[in-house]
Chain A
Amino acid sequence: MLRDKYHAVVIGAGIAGIRSALDLAETGSDVLLIDRAAHPGGLLSRLDNQFPTDGCGMCKMLPLLDRDTSEATCLRKGLFHERIDFLPATELSDLQGEAGRFEVRLKQTLQGVDPQLCIGCGACESVCPVEMDDPFNSGLSRCKAIHRAVPHAVAGGYVIDPVACTRCGACAPVCPTDAIDLAFDRRKEFKILVVDDELSVRDSLKEWLLNEGYSSVQTAASGADALTLLSQSSFELLLIDVKMPGMDGVDLLKLAKGDHPELMAVMMTAYATVDTAVEAMKSGALDYLIKPFDPQAMLAMVNRIFQENISVKEQQVAAGALIVSGGMVPFDPRTGVNSYGYGSCPHVLTSLEFERMLSGCGPSQGRLVRPKDDKPLRRIAWMQCVGSRDCQISADFCSRICCMAALKEAELARAKSGNAAETTIFYTDMRTFGKSFEPYRRRAEEENGVKLVRARVHSVVPESESGDPVVRYAGLDGRMHEEVVDLVVLSTGLRPAPGTEALADMLGVDRNAWGFFQPSPFATARSKVEGIFLAGACTEPMEINAAVIQASAAALEAGRTLRHSGSRLAEARQRPSAGGSADDPPRILAAVCTCNGRLDKTQEGAAMSADLTRDPAVINVQFVDQLCGPSGWASLEQPIERHAPNRLLVAACHPLRHHLHRRTMAERTGLAAHLMTTVDLKTDLLPPADNGADLTRREADKAERRAKLRMGLAYLKHADPAFIEQTPVQQRALVIGGGTAGMQAALAIGDMGYGVDLVEREAQLGGHLNWLHHTLEGHTVAPYLTEISDRVSTHPQITVHLQHEVVAAGGWAGDFHSTLQDAGGRALTLRHGVTILATGGEEADTTQYGHGTHPAILTQKAMERTLASQEEELSAWGAVAMIQCVGSREPSRNYCSRICCPTTVKQALYLKEKNPEIQIFILYRDMMMPGFSESYYTQARRAGVIFIPYDPQQPPLVDTSDGARVTLRTRDPIADVDLEIGVDRLVLATGVTPRLPGRLADFYGAALDAHGFFQEADSKWRPVDAHQEGVFACGLALAPQTITEAAAAGQAAAQRALRILDHEQLGAGHPTAKVRTSLCVLCERCVEACPYGARAIDPEQRRLVIHPAMCQGCGACAAVCPNGAATMSDHNAGQMLAMIDAAMG
């Protein structure tokens, strides 16, 4: 059920879309989330494992504050949040209005199965006679035409594939909830006009269609007759013969479409005129049939058109802002210049297909065997950059995720095969950019035996006898090699999702040269249209970490628009009362679903009633036909009013889907949601009445259902109705560090109306922006600095503390206190609810390569300053060399600094621009040019910049004996020669080191990683949060990042902080930890066990205190506490013991 108005509509429910939607919902906005697919999750719903954990962690995106607003369950099963409505199979069809007042038209394609009614029992699937390639498993396994869109999804459940389905009608009658609608009745009203000059064709078509249920078929023998009929009555579908005497089919089509643009048409043609038919499709025909045609094929086509026609549902909603998170799709190697055997050799798969093979719900249930012949995989080769970094197919960009994905897939293959599989990755540059990727590569290569081969793959051909693929490649030695393997995995690059072009046109948003959405300079989330924001991979192929950060930044920008346009309504939801006092005896109303009468009320139902009412706490038992959906729940409102229970027991299937029903019921009746529980009765497993399932089995099922009811009853009887604690929030923020990230964070929070204290230890704001000249993309930095530092300095909500440092601090989410000190030792103490660490980083220093011994040897930062200030000097230089990875990606500093390669390319291009004659040599290990920065790498090579790889075991040698010039000696491994290069300047890319004092992080309960960067709660799913709630980081203290990325991270940190600042009070969710102080001996085991840092000892009162909002109800404290001093509300020991007892009978 849609609302008329939303604060925001989010287009695309992949990771970025979900993050944006949740961020907005958590800061009080109502969000409509739509996706073309039948389920949320996007590409990630098909990827089970993500590095670096090689597991999934999607659920870490779920709300940690106000967590009762959403069901805390696996996000792959579905997204259930009270402020988010998810509309599957939906696209935008029109947009009117402006920021703050958009009118959004949506087109939803119904999939034949009502997602609200489908309970996922699978009865339809078992009777469906049509098999097809399973799209979820990339066609590597088979499924029925009616199938689960995602095997683990709870919401949405089943869909019908419109192309494969023959409308045989077998499924609809077996559906227990009448969720399937094949609309046979409506075929009668579907008006079809057959136009053909041959009577036999007209007659047979009409007869076939009549037999299929289309009783409104008319025929015409010529174009003229057809036009007459069209003028007399309306038709939905025309079947037109192409070749007719007089007016031919195409002319008729044009005329007919001219008068009736909504008319659908299919051309019928002989082989000779196929071209004409194809031509006709440009004039608006939907498809064509080749004569002589099989009646079944013709009917299947008509059925499909009919179904698509009736299944489109148009709806309109109002929204204040739009976030586009349309995502990306994998490149299809068959469309490339070289398909590397994909499509022709069955043993060549794409990386997505291989991910499916690794999955437990994949085609081989996760067994590592070749899909075609079940041969165990012992030799697997990955080929990088298929469809990426390829100018021949207009893909002059890097897809960013494939290197890490290949490493992960290879690691998993090694692990799954018990290290029996040989895994080889053929690559050009292993792009392990950023702080956490390089250690993962090292682990894969050095500990887990993944082989990396730097090579250029020429082709993949099957070996003549075995059919095994042979990889032919040119190695670093310049020679050709061959390797026979069992399977080749193509690490396919990424492309904008289909429909991006049309969507961009509709929205008026620009796209870049490769079809991705084009954000504004320094602001990834901003499009050129006010009120429309961009999130995730629709702007550039990107990994989860970046998509999540960008999505939070987009949510922030959307929130800012909503606030400015006054449509940020953020009305407080009605919170039901706590549910009465603990002393009230339980009065339980029990409601049992009969699954549309399949539960035998007189027999089993009566027994259930007797069981339940034996307990005096049960005051009434209701049987409801369909308790899985909103209508069933609504029917309980009256009995609740009549019997005034203080607890509600619901027995129905799919308990996860009941979360929102409970919330709605709580709002409508005042009964607290945590005093309602749903037991999974698995009524979907009830056999149909005429099914002769064996008696013992049925009796066992019956016993299980009764046991579950008793358990639900025991749970509710011992439930604790007590009031949940709240803690007040200091609605101000402290941002430490006044660089790009810190300023953006401060502006974001200030713009939302909360006070910000911005602390900067230097005498001016701006950090590195003060010396950076321009970006790789050519944007000058100075105007950007002026713009944001002016805004910060004059912002009414922001207090800037220059030349101050934090010398002491403490507290926790919602209530921190920090003491600042200036150079004169004057101290100032602030209270704030959140802390953002944006303390930055600096260029690493080095003594390698003669740095510090010769004026011509300088770091990138020194070079940047030279570029900006001494232009005349540049023209005097004949040659410049640059060495990458100085002190980086080595055991002592085992990470990639991410920004040095782009900086090198930027400086090289600048030098070439100023002096085209200059010779530039870049000595590198892997050129880390992720995403679209790749195109500048291409530009540099085109401009004549010479790139020479070097082996870190034999680094280049520097000789400064030649006066002003520097001589470099290195080996070119490709040409296999020793080089000696004399240069005027040698630039060293020394990388970035963080500047986040451990003591400072410690004040706020944050931690540092092995390299001194801020340790995120999770590098992918919570990329700017500390483990401890209320503390966030952005900028170089978080990870090496570009200006634009730092700005996004600053906004993301601000958005995360706003979740807290938007509350006057932070409350606990259900369940939550409590402490019985009289039993507690302060052993602190629970304090150590708490993964959320929510417990502490109050030293003054010598008692244990719990932060109500930081507690996530995991129960680790209760598990380690031996005597029940640490307890869980809603999962207390008494409840658990009673439930176990109830289960035993």
Chain B
Amino acid sequence: MQTATMEVNKGDVTASIQMLLGQLLSLEAFDAVMVSGRRPNSASVMPLLISAPELLDQADPLAPSFALNAARQVGHLTRNASTQRVAAVLRPCEIRAFIELVKLKQGLRDQVLIIGIDCLGAYPNGAYEDLARQADGSLTRQFIEHHLAGESQATDGASLAKACRACENCLPDGADLAICLWGIDTDREMILQAQTDTGREMLDKLSLTEAALPAERTAAVEAVVADRTRFRDQMFAETAAATDDLEKLGRYLDRCVNCYNCRTACPVCYCRQCVFETNLFDHEPLQYLAWARRKGEIKMPNDTIFYHLTRLAHMSTACVGCGQCSNACPNDIDVMSLFRTVAHRTQAAFDYMAGRDLGEKPPLSEFREEEFPEVEGLHWSEPQS
């Protein structure tokens, strides 16, 4: 089966997803599901690995909160081949990040069934906490209703996180099973779409009714993508203008305290220990003085621009644009905009998109003989006169 309908009771999409996950566990095909949710009496939404079906009511995958990109957690769950199987409900950017990690041997793709949902986005961390408190448990419901109705502002006027507003890749393309919401009458149903063989097998087991995607879906998705692309392109232009020389870049990053939170939050920064935390950057006291002597003054801590440039060099081709770097910054540096702006170009240069396809090798791991002929210096050609 390719697509099937699943009943939604009076617009409660979350309950239907909980029911779906319950069915997966009861089929005994899975030992646990990982899904974002809230523990009792907690406002924080974090990934929960749930094996007890009765605790599935904690699952809240559509909550407009994105405190952690769970790709690395999926990596931890799938590091070795085993007969244990898990399902994971992930946002599209989490799926893409996980695929990047699989390429880097930090997880095994076929050890997990990935369930993706049309991503409506999330609020910035701080904003979510406030709104959740005010909404008293109904925030997710309100959020879904508003956003599926095509309104990008929440009831109280708060805005989605910048990363989400600029995210044009909001469909769960790499998932085994996709839960489709846009263009669908979510008051009464949601559509499940199998996107892989594993997804199809699972759909067959779930005893659902086959149903096609409604014709309105395409236009609904296009509208969201167009809106976000517009926002994204403006962000690219603004960020590029703000960082197009070393001095400006220095200003952009001048609140950086070298806490490396952005790299800790980054789902694709997969090193056990960042090179900037190794002894390579344990400079001798004399060295700082020598630098100060040469330049007159240096900003402390130093190596800040070097750190961000290095992380861009290492990771921009793997950047999925999830925005966790900006979420993690204690000094509100807009790291995400910088990363996405650069990543957009580095990925385009290699005709690569992070997380698009497991078969695409990371550009810097692959040698192609015919690459960038315009910058090769060895071929003389007759001047065209």
**A interface list, Cβ under 8 A from B:** 360, 366-368, 376, 415-418, 420, 1078-1085, 1088-1089, 1120, 1122-1125, 1133-1134, 1137, 1141, 1144-1145
Within 8 Å of chain A (Cβ to Cβ): is B364?
Answer: yes
A415 vs B373: C-alpha distance in the bound complex, in angstroms? 13
Distance between Cα atoms of A332 and B72 in the complex (Å): 71
Residue B352 at the A interface, CB < 8 A? no
Tell me the smallest distance from the CB of A1126 to a CB of chain B, in Å. Answer: 11
Residues on B with C-beta less than 8 A from A416 are: 380-382
User: Which chain B residue has the least Cβ–Cβ distance from A55?
Assistant: B378
Chain B, 340-385, CB within 8 A of any chain A CB: 361-362, 364-367, 379-382, 384
If A368-B382, A417-B382 touch, whether A1081 touches B270 (CB-CB below 8 Å) is yes
Question: Is B365 within 8 A of A1120, CB to CB?
Answer: yes
Query: Is B271 a contact of A418 with CB atoms below 8 Å?
Result: no
Residue B314 interfacial (CB < 8 Å): yes
B270-A1083 in contact (CB<8A): yes
CA separation between A367 and B385, bound complex, in Å? 14
A-B contacts, 16 listed (Cβ < 8 Å): A416-B380, A418-B381, A420-B382, A1079-B272, A1081-B106, A1081-B270, A1081-B271, A1085-B104, A1088-B365, A1089-B365, A1122-B315, A1123-B275, A1123-B278, A1124-B278, A1141-B290, A1145-B294
Question: By the criterion CB–CB under 8 Å, are B380 and A360 in contact?
Answer: yes
B298 CB to closest chain A CB, in angstroms?
13
Name the distance in Å between B321's Cβ and chain A's nearest Cβ: 19
Given A376-B382, A1137-B280, are A1122 and B106 also a contact pair (CB < 8 Å)?
no
Residues in B with CB closer than 8 Å to A1124 are 275, 278, 280
Q: Is B248 interfacial (CB-CB < 8 Å)? A: no
Closest 5 pairs (CB-CB, A-B): A1123-B271, A1122-B314, A1083-B104, A1123-B275, A1124-B275
Residues of chain A with a CB closer than 8 A to B384's CB: 418
Please report which residues of chain B, range 284-309, place their CB below 8 angstroms from some CB of chain A when the two chains form the complex.
Answer: 287, 290, 294
Q: Which residues of A contact B41 (CB under 8 A)?
A: none
The 8 Å CB contact of A1085, one of B274, B290, B365, is: B365
B147 in the interface (beta carbon within 8 A): no
Residue in B closest to A1091 when the chains form the complex, CB atoms: B367
B83 on the interface (CB 8 Å rule)?
A: no
State the Cβ distance, A416 to closest chain B Cβ, in Å: 6
Q: Is the CB of B105 within 8 A of A1082?
A: yes
A1102 to B, closest residue via Cβ: B80
Residues of chain A contacted by B381 (CB below 8 angstroms): 415-416, 418
CB <8 Å contact, B273 and A1123: yes
B380 CB to nearest chain A CB (Å): 5
With contact pairs A1081-B106, A1083-B104 given, residues A1120 and B364 touching in the complex (Cβ less than 8 Å)? yes
Q: Which residue of B lies closest to A1087 (CB)?
A: B105
B84 to A: closest C-beta gap in Å? 19
- In the complex the two chains form, what is the Cα distance from A360 to B381 in whole Å? 11
Chain B residues at the A interface, C-beta cutoff of 8 Å: 104-106, 270-275, 278, 280, 287, 290, 294, 314-315, 361-362, 364-367, 379-382, 384
Chain B residues with CB below 8 A from A1089, complex form: 365, 367
- Taking the closest CB of chain A, its distance from the CB of B76, in whole angstroms, is 12
Residues in B neighbouring A1144, C-beta threshold 8 A: 294
- Which residues of B sit under 8 angstroms from A1122, Cβ to Cβ? 271, 275, 314-315
A residues within 8 A CB of B274? 1123
Bound: A1134/B275 CA distance, A: 11
- Bound state CA distance, A417 and B272, in angstroms? 52
Q: Give Cα distance in the complex from A141 to B287, angstroms.
A: 53
* Alpha-carbon distance A966/B272, docked complex (angstroms): 76
Q: Which residue of A lies closest to B294 (CB)?
A: A1145
B280/A1133 in contact, CB under 8 A = yes
Report the bound CA distance from A420 to B381 in whole Å.
Answer: 11
Closest partner residue, chain A, to B381 (CB atom): A418
Can you name the residue of chain B whose Cβ is closest to the Cβ of A1144?
B294
| Least CB separation from B313: chain A residue | A1122
Cβ distance A1124 to chain B, nearest Cβ, rounded Å: 5
Residues of A near B278 (CB, < 8 A) are 1079, 1123-1124
Report chain A residues within 8 Å CB of B362: 1085
A1078 to B273, CA, bound (A): 9
Residue from A368, A420, A1124, A1125 having most chain B Cβ neighbours under 10 A: A1124
CB of A1081 within 8 A of CB of B272, answer yes
User: In the docked arrangement, what's the CA distance between A360 and B280, Å?
Assistant: 42
Find chain A residues with CB under 8 A from B290 CB: 1141
CB distance from A1093 to the nearest CB of B (A): 14
Tell me which residues across on chain A come within 8 A of B361, comparing CB atoms: 1088
User: What is the bound-complex CA distance between A1124 and B384, given in angstroms?
Assistant: 45
Question: Within 8 Å CB of B105, what residues of A?
Answer: 1082-1084
- Contacting pair B273 A1079 (CB below 8 A): yes
In whole Å, how far is A303's beta carbon from the nearest beta carbon of chain B?
A: 41
Measured between beta carbons, the chain A residues less than 8 angstroms from B380 are 360, 366-367, 416
* B291 CB → nearest A CB, Å: 8
Chain B residues, CB < 8 A from A1141:
287, 290
B290 — nearest CB in chain A belongs to which residue? A1141
Instruction: Output the nearest chain A residue to B274 by Cβ-Cβ distance.
Output: A1123
Residue from the set A418, A1079, A1080, A1122 with the largest chain B CB neighbour count within 10 Å: A1122
- Whole-angstrom CA separation of A1120 from B380 in the bound complex: 30
Contacts of B104 in A (CB 8 A): 1081, 1083-1085
Q: How far is the CA of A692 from the CA of B290 in the complex (A)?
A: 35
Could you say which residues of chain B place their CB within 8 Å of the CB of A1088? 361, 365-366
CA distance A1078 to B277 in the complex (A): 13
Docked pose: A110 CA to B140 CA in angstroms: 92
Most chain A CB within a 10 A radius of its CB, from B270, B290, B315, B380: B380
Contacts of B367 in A (CB 8 A): 1089
- Nearest Cβ distance between residue A1086 and chain B, in whole angstroms? 9
Further 15 A-B residue pairs, CB within 8 A, beyond A416-B380, A1083-B270, A1144-B294:
A360-B380, A416-B382, A417-B382, A418-B382, A1079-B271, A1081-B270, A1082-B105, A1083-B105, A1085-B104, A1088-B366, A1089-B367, A1123-B273, A1123-B275, A1123-B278, A1145-B294
CA–CA, A1125 to B290, complex, Å? 28
Q: How far is the CA of A1123 from the CA of B365 in the complex (A)?
A: 15
Contacts of B365 in A (CB 8 A): 1085, 1088-1089, 1120
Could you tell me the distance in whole angstroms from the C-beta of A559 to the nearest C-beta in chain B?
37
- Bound Cα distance from A1137 to B310, whole angstroms: 13
B contact residues around A367 at 8 Å (CB) = 380, 382
A376 to B364, CA, bound (A): 41
Query: How many Å from the CB of B355 to the closest CB on chain A?
Result: 16
CA distance A366 to B382 in the complex (A): 9
CB distance from A583 to the nearest CB of B (A): 15
Q: How far is the CA of A1124 from the CA of B39 in the complex (A)?
A: 40
Nearest CB of chain B from residue A752's CB, rounded to whole Å? 37
Minimum C-beta distance from B79 to chain A (A):
10
Q: How far is the CA of A1141 from the CA of B287 in the complex (A)?
A: 10
- Chain B nearest CB from A737 CB (Å) reads 33
Q: Is the CB of B315 within 8 A of A1123?
A: no
Residues of B within 8 A of A1120 (CB): 364-365
CA distance A13 to B382 in the complex (A): 35
**B115–chain A nearest beta-carbon distance, Å:** 26
Q: How far apart are B94's CB and chain A's nearest CB, in angstroms? A: 19
Residue of A nearest to B380 (CB): A366
How far is B383's CA from A367's CA once the two chains are assembled, in angstroms?
10
Among residues of B, the one whose C-beta sits closest to the C-beta of A368 is B382
A378, chain B: closest CB distance, angstroms: 11
CB A964 to nearest CB in B, in angstroms, measures: 56
Report the separation of the CA atoms of residues A384 and B287 in the bound assembly, to the nearest whole angstrom: 67
Task: Specify which chain A residues have a CB less than 8 angstroms from the CB of B294 in the assembled complex.
Answer: 1144-1145
Q: Measured between C-beta atoms, what is the minimum distance from B230 to chain A in Å? A: 34
CA distance A420 to B362 in the complex (A): 38
A1081 to B381, CA, bound (A): 45
B-chain residues with CB within 8 Å of residue A1123 when the two chains form the complex: 271-275, 278
Distance A1145 CA – B315 CA, assembled complex (angstroms): 31
Which of B272, B287, B290, B366 has the most chain A CB within a 10 Å cutoff? B272
State in angstroms the CA–CA spacing of A1088 and B363 once bound together.
Answer: 12
Complex Cα distance, B287 from A1134, in Å, reads 13
